Amino acid sequence: MMALAGSYLGMDLLVDDIDEDNAAYFGHCAAGRFCLQSCAACRTLRYPPAPRCPVCRAAESAWRPITGAGVVFTYTVIHQATQPRMKPHAPYAVLIVELDAQPERPLRVPGILVDDRCMPLRATGPRDWGIGTRVRMRFARADAEDGIALPVWSLDR
């Protein structure tokens, strides 16, 4: 057990009881790498980070670099932010992206849709994206003493 603290877009992030799997995952993100656990027994990739393989239940795994690319599986555009620090960024989109990796057992990673500066894309006006659009992962570096970076998505063009 350990704690991670930082801020993202001026929003305080405190993860006060992060488990070692999530700590390792966000540690890779902070280094600019997207990695997932690959089961040591059956090689299945899993997301979110977890202590056992959901297919064969094995505990051993290795972190494997994954191409952070996929298609928008579904999404929402949030017009009314709940968290006060997100209000200036609304309307912003939260995408659930199905990774290209392991299509036979899909992995879906949520994240904010960002612009070229890695800031939340303001989803006003006409849209040229939606379900099925290709996106690429970037890392929004949180301003963090322990180093957190959040996976976010940008349009792949």
Partner 1 sequence: MASRQYAIVGIGETSYSRKPEFTSRALAATAILRAAEDAGVAPETIDGMLAHGMNDTCGCQVVAGDIGTRLDFHMDCLAGGAAVEALVGVAIGAMEAGLCEVVAIYRAMNGFSQVRTGGTTAQTPSGPHASGDDIHTKAHGWSSPAQMFAPAFMRHMHEYGTTSAQAAMVKVVHSEHAARNPKAIYPQTVTVDEILASRMIAEPLHLLDCCTETNSGTCLIVTALERARDLRHPPVLVRAAVGRACKPGSAMYYQYGSPATTAGEHAAKLLWRHAGVLPQEIDVTGAYDAFTFTSLMLLEDYGFCAKGEGGAYVSSGITRLGGERPNNTSGGLLCEGYSNGMNLVIENVRQLRHDVDDDCPLGPDGRRRHSHDHGPQGRCRQVRGAQFAANLGWGTPGMGSALVLGRA
- Considering only CA atoms, give the Rg of the chain: 16
For residues 17 and 149, is the Cβ–Cβ distance under 8 A?
no
Q: Which of residues 69-108 bind partner 1 (CB under 8 A)?
A: 73-86, 89, 91-92, 94, 96, 106-108
Whole-angstrom Cα distance, residue 130 to residue 59?
37
Q: Is 68 in the site for partner 1 (CB under 8 A)?
A: no
Minimum separation from the CB atom of position 154 to partner 1 (A): 14
Backbone angles phi, psi at 58, to 5 degrees: -65, 145
Minimum separation from the CB atom of position 94 to partner 1 (A): 5
Closer residue to partner 1, CB minimum distance, 64 or 87 = 87
Backbone angles phi, psi at 27, to 5 degrees: -65, -45
Closer residue to partner 1, CB minimum distance, 86 or 101 = 86
* Strand pairing report for 69-78 and 134-141: antiparallel
Which spans of this chain sit near partner 1 (rule: CB under 8 A)? 4, 8, 11-19, 22, 26, 47-48, 54, 73-86, 89, 91-92, 94, 96, 106-108, 110-112, 120, 131, 150, 152
